[in-house]
Amino acid sequence: MMMRRTLVLGAIVLTLFACAAVHHNNKNPYEKRLFVEKYLNPADPFDAQIQRTINDLRADPRSATLHNQLGQLLLRKGFPKDAEVEFERAVNSDSHFYPAWYNLGLVRAARGDYTGARFAFHRTVHYKPGHAAALFQLGLVEERRQNNDAAIEYYAKAFSINHALLDVRV
């Protein structure tokens, strides 16, 4: 009897935590002013573009395209962690949106998370087979992992798809 009561109580507690988590995930993260907004100058056209994108996300927080666009803008503005969050929100909104997967891979690789970058680049190639830039980035990741055979295969695929990758401009 005591065991059954404990199990029922445990199930109730887990249900309450799950409901709280679902409620939290459904909140619009753009309802409140974002951290980066205090660094935006309304007179600067680039900052105004960031503000417009944030305002658009307040109206449509599930838009993968807007999340990806804001991530690119924030990265250019110098907020890589916030950009990574936006790319993650983009792929959470639309898991097939390969441009956000690619951008997420670039940001993760830049901060040294090669496992996360590798996963993101694989998702890019999964949803957009023949994405030469992602294949090239996978080659770089594999080379960094000392997996030279796999790196050469990725480089060869990338170069066969996009010969411009061979053009070295210094």
Q: Determine the residue type at 22.
A: V
Question: What token pair was written down for 162?
Answer: 């996009």
Dump pLDDT digits (tens) for 148-170.
999 999 999 999 999 998 887 76
DSSP 8-state class, residue 85: H
What whole-number percentage of the chain has pLDDT above 90? Answer: 76
For 153, list phi and psi in degrees, rounded to 5. Answer: -65, -45
CATH architecture for the domain at 31-112: Alpha Horseshoe (1.25)
Using CA atoms of 166, 97, 87, 74 in order, give the dihedral in degrees to the nearest 10. 70
Per-residue pLDDT at 75: 98
Per-residue pLDDT at 82: 97
Provide mean pLDDT across the span 54-61.
96
Per-residue pLDDT at 28: 86
Per-residue pLDDT at 169: 78
Dump pLDDT digits (tens) for 66-81.
999 999 999 999 999 9
Alpha carbon of 77 to those of 12, 47, 64, 170: distances in Å?
46, 8, 20, 25
Provide mean pLDDT across the span 22-33.
74
Angle subtended at Cα 135 by Cα 130 and Cα 139, rounded to the nearest 5 degrees: 155
Dump pLDDT digits (tens) for 107-142.
999 999 999 999 999 999 999 999 999 999 999 999
Instruction: Please state the domain extents for the chain.
Output: 31-112, 130-170
DSSP 8-state class, residue 57: H
Alpha carbon of 116 to those of 36, 84, 104, 122, 134: distances in Å?
25, 11, 9, 10, 13
